């Protein structure tokens, strides 16, 4: 199931005989390429051991809300931020009640309160408990789109009863979770994305560049691919793996990037420019290495590079274009000026003076600014930010 590749899944195991099925669920998530962490309630440990869950997932098991070690490394807030999806399987009647009541007195319920991802829950309980009016009331309070119910099935139960309440099989669960990452919002759309820095040669061994890691552009390429887009990625020098099913072109200088972009423009529906393109280049690249012994100081004579974004916008007025504004001051004002001057459909602004969300960080916080609206995406992983940007583009830019 390719749509689960590289997804971060938090599997919450609660108390119940169906806890043994969690082992198979971990195996299926892992075989689909997901990174799985396991959270166990105290009751769950009575049915299956944390050591089993740790061995299968390859990660330490989380269980104690007040564990000082856990809080210093990945507390309930960070664990909630980490997850692309939370899967509670099995979900006992007691856990269902905690979710419905907004409780936060154990690690599972606290993580779910802090989560900004979807929460899948697979109920598992005796048929009488499942039919109880209080259970029905609790279920009614867990609403879409945050909570997604999976099952339960009907059949023989461990207590000897027959009826509804059996946990859905692991294969059913993983198929439903996988579908949430493949809604195909950009099905068939051809998207060009630029990423990373560019390098402008000074001499054969030196160059001018910047601190861009390319992580945001690569995350956007991955998010667009997951929405069934046909993605071409033009990137400067970065140390990142190409997302699955994304076509990649490597360039070095701003001129090379500009040429490749211009070549690709006639075939695309959307251009997303995340690359941190050098504004200047050497007027005259030195043929030989500049020797420091030759002079106590030397001056570099620079000239402007072509503004790729402005050029594409000017020559392709019908093309949908998204730009990025990496600013260190007056974030919103500077972004709006860029939106207007370069005639963009959308600009994504972020404050690169903040080291926690700036260059080379794994997290980001951005503002999406168009002619009609302004939306803030709060600090979270770049993968989650990218998915939200792609969703916004699909709804507000490509559907216009």
Highest mean pLDDT among 40-49, 56-65, 345-354: 40-49
pLDDT-derived band at 340 (thresholds 50, 70, 90) equals very high
Greatest mean pLDDT among 80-84, 116-120, 183-187, 296-300: 116-120
Assigned CATH topology for domain 190-290+300-396 = Rossmann fold (3.40.50)
pLDDT at 400 over 70: no
Domain ranges of the chain: 2-179, 190-290+300-396
Q: How confident is the model at residue 73 (pLDDT cuts 50, 70, 90)?
A: very low
The alpha-helical segments, DSSP class H, found in 42-121 are: 50-57, 68-74, 76-82, 93-101, 107-114
The pLDDT tens digits for 171-182 are 999 999 998 886
Active-site residue among 12, 112, 159, 258?
Answer: 159
Instruction: Say what the pLDDT of residue 7 is.
Output: 84
* Range with lowest mean pLDDT among 35-39, 238-242, 350-354: 350-354
pLDDT above 70 (res 251): yes
User: What six digits make up the tokens of 365?
Assistant: 């916080």
Q: Is residue 398 within a helix (H) or strand (E), and if so which, with residue range?
A: none
Residue 287 has pLDDT above 50, yes or no: yes
Beta bridge partners of 207: 201
- For the question of residue 91 being annotated catalytic, the response is no
Q: Residue 70: pLDDT above 60? A: no
Q: Is the pLDDT of residue 13 over 60?
A: yes
Asked if 192 contacts 275 with a C-beta cutoff of 8 angstroms, the reply is: no
State the average pLDDT over residues 211-232. 92
pLDDT > 90 fraction of the chain, expressed in percent and rounded: 66
Q: What number is the average pLDDT over the span 359-374? A: 88
The mean of the pLDDT values for the chain is 90
pLDDT in tens, 83-138: 989 999 999 999 999 999 988 888 999 999 989 899 999 999 999 999 999 999 99
State what percent of residues in the chain have pLDDT above 70.
Answer: 96
Mean pLDDT of the 147-172 span: 87
Q: pTM here? A: 0.68
Mean pLDDT of 250-259: 96
Q: Report pLDDT digits (tens) over 204-218.
A: 999 999 989 999 999
Tell me whether the CATH fold assigned to 2-179 matches the one assigned to 190-290+300-396. yes
Lowest pLDDT segment from 48-62, 85-99, 106-120, 351-365: 351-365
2-179 carries CATH number 3.90.660.10: no
| pLDDT for 328 | 83
Task: Decide: helix, strand or coil at residue 250.
Answer: strand
In this prediction, residues 248-252 reach a mean pLDDT of 97
Residue 357 has pLDDT above 50, yes or no: yes
For residue 67, give Cα distances in angstroms to 59, 62, 71, 76, 78.
16, 9, 6, 10, 14
Rounded-to-integer distance, Cα 44 and Cα 94, Å? 12
149 within 8 A of 88, measured Cβ to Cβ: no
Contact between 379 and 356 under an 8 Å Cβ cutoff? The reply is: yes
CA dihedral 303, 309, 314, 320 (to 10 degrees): 180
Cβ contacts of 324 within 8 Å, gap of 6 or more: 216, 273, 274, 347, 348, 349, 350
What is the rounded CA–CA span in Å between residue 190 and residue 60? 41
pLDDT band at 68 (very low <50, low <70, confident <90, very high): low
């Amino acid at each position: 199931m390719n749509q689960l590749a590289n997804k971060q899944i938090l599997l919450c195991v609660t108390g119940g005989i169906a806890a043994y099925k969690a082992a198979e669920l971990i195996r299926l998530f892992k075989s689909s390429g997901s990174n799985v962490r396991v959270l166990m309630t105290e009751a769950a440990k009575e049915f299956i051991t944390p050591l089993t869950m740790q061995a299968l997932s390859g990660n330490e098991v989380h269980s104690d809300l007040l564990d000082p070690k856990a809080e210093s490394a990945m507390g309930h807030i960070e664990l909630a931020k980490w997850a692309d999806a939370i899967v509670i399987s099995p979900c006992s009647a007691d856990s269902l009640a905690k979710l419905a009541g907004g409780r936060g007195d154990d690690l599972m319920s606290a993580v779910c309160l802090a989560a900004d991802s979807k929460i899948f829950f697979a109920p598992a309980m005796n048929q009488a408990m499942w039919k109880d009016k209080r259970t029905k009331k609790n279920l009614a309070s867990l609403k879409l789109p945050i909570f997604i119910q999976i099952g339960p099935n009907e059949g023989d139960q461990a207590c000897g009863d027959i009826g509804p309440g059996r946990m859905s099989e692991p294969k059913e669960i993983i198929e439903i979770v996988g579908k949430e990452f493949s809604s195909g919002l950009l099905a068939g759309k051809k998207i060009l994305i630029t990423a990373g820095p560019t390098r402008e040669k000074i001499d054969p061994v030196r160059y001018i560049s910047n601190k861009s890691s390319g992580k945001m552009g690569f995350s956007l390429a991955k998010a667009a691919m997951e929405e069934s887009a046909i993605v071409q990625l033009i990137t400067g020098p970065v140390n990142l793996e190409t997302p699955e099913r994304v076509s990649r072109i490597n360039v070095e200088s701003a001129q090379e990037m500009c040429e490749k972009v211009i070549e690709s423009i006639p075939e695309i529906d959307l251009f997303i420019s995340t690359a941190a393109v050098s504004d200047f280049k050497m007027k005259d690249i030195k043929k030989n290495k500049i020797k420091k012994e030759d002079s106590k100081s030397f001056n570099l004579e620079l000239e402007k590079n072509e503004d790729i974004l402005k050029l594409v916008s000017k020559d392709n007025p019908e093309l949908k274009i998204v730009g990025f504004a990496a600013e260190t001051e007056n974030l919103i004002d500077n972004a709006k000026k860029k939106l207007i001057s370069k005639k963009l459909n959308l600009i994504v602004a972020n404050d690169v003076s903040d080291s926690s969300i700036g260059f080379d960080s794994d997290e980001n916080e951005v503002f999406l600014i168009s002619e009609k609206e302004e939306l803030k995406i709060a600090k979270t992983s770049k993968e989650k930010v990218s998915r939200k940007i792609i969703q916004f583009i699909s709804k507000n830019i490509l559907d216009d």
